[in-house]
């Protein structure tokens, strides 16, 4: 979503937007991993910098100067080098990122106890209880930005709005190092001027389907009969987009303990170098992890994998999803893509693991439907497996590919 597509409403003189009722903040660190790494390399500020492996693997983060050349997170390093050959590539420092993230989250917690981290570098805050003590929502947002910059030496962007959906849109549109307030009275106009791709749940295929209906902007969706949307996208998908097109989002900010996670590891009896075997193990571990999450009534947003080589060297990779999930196939698809992006080919492995982080109660974190999926999809299949396992025992039903684990 391009910031050039966003046009803030005109205001007289230095008039500030009315932030009354805008008690949801979305704080997003600006190119967090790259910005943190540059603290030790101030000579590289203002230049294209990529965080990742020197020759293999994927881009973990990139400065905005590198992004201007088309470099994005999760892109293969080789392709990033071709797009921006003048970039400096720095190895990631995960310990530094974790330490700085903890400090940033402590800053949030000093403002309000209602903090919902989405990953190391972004979170929702409900500041309704802090307004009387600290001032208006915009004042609190600026306080957060100033504190993070002064104490950590990096910048963040903050969206201020009445709902989570609009706050996240706002933070994305004011990056980098920005603050954007979307007043209650301007939510509809703000949302409806955006392209359809700005809405949660609209991927490439759904955007194409909407395009075939002649729907290009969110306003187009808003003024399309609900029955038409449901016919094209299914009942759940059509209703979901209809609500978002009018800026409606009933979800509340839910406090999350960031250290909470559920996962499973497998240590092989002998070292393994067969990618197909590793894929089956990732599927089995994904199914086990998803089953434990559903049993606990939890969904998660961050999928991480752990890979241990024959020499005991261990690496981890993670990806934060757009929406929380407890679906085996969604977890597996992400875990598999993280593993494949490592480009290990015939590397000998002694252990792999799959873990879900950023967990919240399923009842408190509605899972957005995938708009291209049928009315009954993978989520329903997982529930059926749970029911069969409860009746006939664990492992009685599962993916067919796991029958060939030998």
Binding residues for Mg(2+): 28, 121
What is the C-alpha to C-alpha distance for residues 177 and 179, in angstroms, rounded to an integer? Answer: 7
Phi, then psi, of 188 in degrees rounded to 5: -60, -50
DSSP code, position 371? T
Place of tokens 């974190």: 365
Instruction: Give alpha helix (H) positions in 153-217.
Output: 164-173, 187-192, 204-212
Q: How many CA atoms lie within 13 A of 355 on its CB side?
A: 17
Determine how many CB atoms are found less than 10 A away from the CB of residue 210: 25
By three-state DSSP, how is residue 289 classified? Answer: helix
Give the integer Cα–Cα distance in Å for 121 and 127. Answer: 19
H or E segment at 349?
A: strand 349-357
For the chain, the farthest-separated pair of C-alpha atoms sits apart, in whole angstroms, at 72
Sheet architecture: strand order including 156-161: 115-119, 122-126, 24-29, 156-161, 179-181
Is residue 266 part of the annotated active site? The answer reads no
Binding-site residue set? 28, 121
Q: Exactly one of 65, 122, 281, 330 is catalytic; which is it?
A: 122
Residue from 284, 287, 288 nearest 405 by CA: 284
- Catalytic site positions: 122
């Amino acid at each position: 979503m391009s910031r050039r597509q966003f046009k803030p409403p005109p205001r007289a003189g230095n008039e500030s937007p009315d932030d009354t009722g805008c008690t949801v903040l979305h704080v997003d660190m600006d190119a967090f991993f790259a910005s943190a790494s540059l603290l030790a390399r101030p000579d590289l500020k203002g230049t294209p910098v990529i965080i990742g492996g020197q020759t293999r693997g994927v881009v973990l983060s990139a400065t905005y100067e590198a992004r201007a050349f088309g470099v994005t997170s999760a892109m293969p390093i080789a392709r990033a080098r071709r797009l921006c050959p003048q970039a400096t590539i720095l190895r990631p420092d995960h310990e530094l990122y974790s330490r700085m993230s903890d400090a940033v989250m402590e800053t949030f917690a000093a403002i309000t106890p209602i903090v919902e981290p989405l990953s190391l570098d972004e979170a929702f805050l409900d500041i309704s209880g802090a307004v009387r003590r600290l001032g208006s929502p915009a004042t609190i947002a600026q306080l957060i930005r100033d504190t993070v910059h002064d104490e950590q030496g990096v910048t963040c962007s903050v969206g201020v709005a009445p709902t989570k959906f609009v706050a996240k849109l706002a933070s994305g549109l004011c990056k980098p190092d920005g603050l954007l307030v979307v007043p209650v009275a301007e939510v509809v106009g703000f949302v409806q001027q955006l392209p359809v791709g700005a809405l949660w749940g609209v991927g490439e295929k759904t955007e194409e389907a909407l395009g075939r209906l002649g729907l290009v902007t969110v306003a187009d969706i808003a003024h399309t009969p609900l029955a038409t949307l449901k016919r094209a996208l299914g009942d759940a998908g059509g209703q979901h987009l209809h609500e978002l097109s009018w800026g409606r989002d009933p979800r509340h900010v839910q406090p999350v303990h960031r250290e909470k996670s559920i996962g499973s590891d497998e240590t092989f009896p002998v070292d393994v170098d067969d990618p197909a075997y590793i894929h089956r193990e990732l599927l089995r571990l994904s199914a086990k992890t998803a089953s434990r999450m559903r049993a606990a009534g939890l969904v998660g947003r961050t999928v991480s994998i752990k890979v241990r080589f024959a020499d005991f060297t261990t690496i981890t990779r993670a990806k934060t999803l757009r929406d929380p999930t407890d679906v085996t196939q969604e977890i597996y698809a992400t875990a598999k893509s993280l593993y494949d992006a490592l480009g290990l080919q015939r590397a000998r492995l002694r252990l792999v693991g799959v873990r879900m982080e950023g967990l919240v109660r399923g009842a408190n974190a509605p899972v957005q439907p995938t708009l291209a999926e049928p009315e009954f999809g993978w989520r329903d299949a997982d529930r059926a497996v749970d029911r069969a396992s409860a009746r006939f025992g664990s492992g009685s039903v599962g993916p067919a590919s796991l029958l060939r684990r030998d």
